[in-house]
Amino acid sequence: MARVGVITFPGSLDDRDAARAVRIAGGEPVALWHADTSLRGVDAVVLPGGFSYGDYLRAGAIARFAPLMEELIPAARAGLPVLGICNGFQVLAEAHLLPGALMPNAEGHFVCRDQRLRIENARTAWTSEYAQGQEIVVPLKNMDGRFTASAETVAELESSGRVVARYMDVNPNGSLNDIAGVTNEAGNVVGLMPHPEHAVESLTGPTTDGLGFFTSIVKGLINA
């Protein structure tokens, strides 16, 4: 069974929901602690949402130097599938595993809504169960969700198909080009500002559209 680690940092909030999503997708969630020095042999890792270290300095800036990140960064560069959701995306950007940065929302306040997205790249390790161009609705909740990068970086992301998901209807935080998620060149590291792990059960989510991120990795690992 695919073993998917979920890292808990001080201030993580969505680690339990991420673990539940892994389980519902048919994988085995493995709890990882930020101060650990071993990834415990997991097949993939999720960095969950929350406010690690109170978002002091910049969102994700201090968590990026957690002891476990010393293990994760080289492993991700070597191909380990890694998904960063919300705060996890911020941590991956601060670690320069993903391009750009996540800055305070352009409107200056917290945004919480059910957000329509379009999957722009269904070839990553975390999106292969979606159809290219598929539209999904998952919760979005963030203070620092404004994707920012240099004009050259944005152009390169667009031309190389590294925008994974894009906001539809409204741009909730001022992200450049409505970018909600991006991937690295290899497609194993994905960052996403909205929360697919909150949309895996009809009882608690607006849809079950988010499950695809987790079934993608679980099925991909089994077939690998």
Instruction: Tokens for 14, please give them.
Output: 């969505």
Of 1, 96, 112, 222, the one binding another protein (CB under 8 A) is 96
Our finding on whether 185 is near another protein (CB under 8 A) is: no
Catalytic-role residue among 34, 86, 120, 129? 86
Q: Sheet holding 179-183: strands in order across?
A: 28-33, 3-8, 44-47, 82-85, 189-192, 179-183, 163-167, 111-119, 135-142
Give yes or no: 112 in active site: no
Q: Which of 116, 141, 118, 117 is nearest to 49 (CA)?
A: 141
Give yes or no: 195 in active site: yes
Distance CA 212, CA 50 (A): 21
Give yes or no: 129 in active site: no
Distance CA 168, CA 170 (A): 6
Our finding on whether 58 is near another protein (CB under 8 A) is: yes
Site string for another protein, 154-183 (x = CB under 8 A): --------------------x---------
Positive or negative, the CA dihedral 105, 106, 109, 112 is negative
Nearer to another protein, 149 or 199 (CB): 149
Our finding on whether 10 is near another protein (CB under 8 A) is: no
| Positions in the binding site for another protein (CB under 8 A) | 57-58, 61-62, 65, 93-94, 96, 99-101, 103-108, 146, 148-151, 174
